[in-house]
Amino acid sequence: MPLLNVFANNLLPILLLSGAGFALGKALKLDSRPLGRVIFYILSPVLIFNLLTGSKLAVGNIILMMGYSASVMLIVAGIALGIGRLLHLEPAQLTVVVLTTLFANNGNYGLPLISFAFGPEALAYASIYFVTNSLLLYTVGVLIASLGRLRLKEALLGLLKVPAIYAIILAIIFIRTGWALPVPIQKTVELTAAGAVPAMLILLGLELQKVEWTHNLRALSIPVVCRLLIGPVIGLAMAALFGLNTSARKDGIIEAAMPSAVMTTVLANEFKLDTSLVTAIVFAGTILSPLTLTPLIYFLGR
């Protein structure tokens, strides 16, 4: 069956590695927070720098893809915000709903999935989507997560402590000037970046094994539905509006359909949000995602 082949060749390897992290966490009672911090402060920034500096895309295409990515993310999050308000969610729950809808697993799930589905050469546009997600995660995401307990000024100052922002700025400088890293440092960057995605998938499994289910099904269902069902529809519509080419269109729609990002659990831990609700949203979206991503990949690959 075509759909079964799509699932086995593209989604199953990702789920197996996450499952290994899940089993390891259950067996050894591992705390995911140290690995989350390693990813937050080292692996993710290096991966972002490496993807940006290694991209062969024209500046105009990069800007276009970043505009597309940000537009899709903000529109889907805006829909979730509107639904949450209509359902009269409490402010703390609404914060979680917006956070988990805005940010998807574009890196640790989306990048390997697109590589398996469309080949490594397809990662150029997907990496721009991931970088845009990361840029918003470490700016807007930190602000959303921290405003519940910090004043706006304190939250903005807290952004200065996020290393991914400096990685993006440094990458832009290297791109604009044409600088290149010394060979030993470049090899170190490539080695570190190569370990980022597997570490993120293992972290996903570690986070899922400690999921605490929530009775707030309204707050749980909004991000799951928005990410898995509404996301790809918005992604398809915006791809036509932005006039994306075939490769960018495929990458963008798949990235728009990813479940909620595991990094939202890291933000929830860092800023004392409702971690049980966040992990339940990430868990539910990840478990259900093969049901929506498998036919989507089949449709886009035809």
What's the pLDDT at 147? 67
Residue 134: CA count within 13 A, CB half-sphere: 30
Where b means 16+ CB within 10 Å and e means fewer, 90-109 reads: eeebbbbbbbbbbbbbbbbb
Contact between 197 and 46 under an 8 Å Cβ cutoff? The reply is: no
What's the pLDDT at 149? 63
Contact between 110 and 201 under an 8 Å Cβ cutoff? The reply is: no
Long-range contacts of 294-299 (CB under 8 A, 24+ apart): 294/3, 294/6, 294/7, 294/10, 294/11, 295/3, 296/232, 296/253, 296/254, 296/257, 297/6, 297/10, 297/113, 297/117, 297/254, 298/2, 298/3, 298/6
- DSSP codes joined into one string, 240-283: HHHT--HHHHHHHHHHHT--B-THHHHHHHHTT--HHHHHHHHH
Distance, C-alpha 152 to centroid of its chain: 25
What's the pLDDT at 16? 92
Residues 6+ apart with CB under 8 A from 229: 292
Question: Residue 260: phi, psi to the nearest 5?
Answer: -60, 145
Assign 59 to helix, strand or coil: helix
Average pLDDT of the chain is 88
What's the pLDDT at 148? 57
Residue-range domains of the chain with CATH: 2-301 (1.20.1530)
Assign 218 to helix, strand or coil: helix
- Tokens representing residue 38 in the block: 């390693």
Cα gap 30→138, rounded to integer Å = 26
Residue 73: CA count within 13 A, CB half-sphere: 30
Return the residue matching tokens 């988990």.
100
Q: Which residues of the chain have pLDDT under 70?
A: 147-156, 158-159, 214
Contact between 279 and 265 under an 8 Å Cβ cutoff? The reply is: yes
Cα gap 104→257, rounded to integer Å = 8
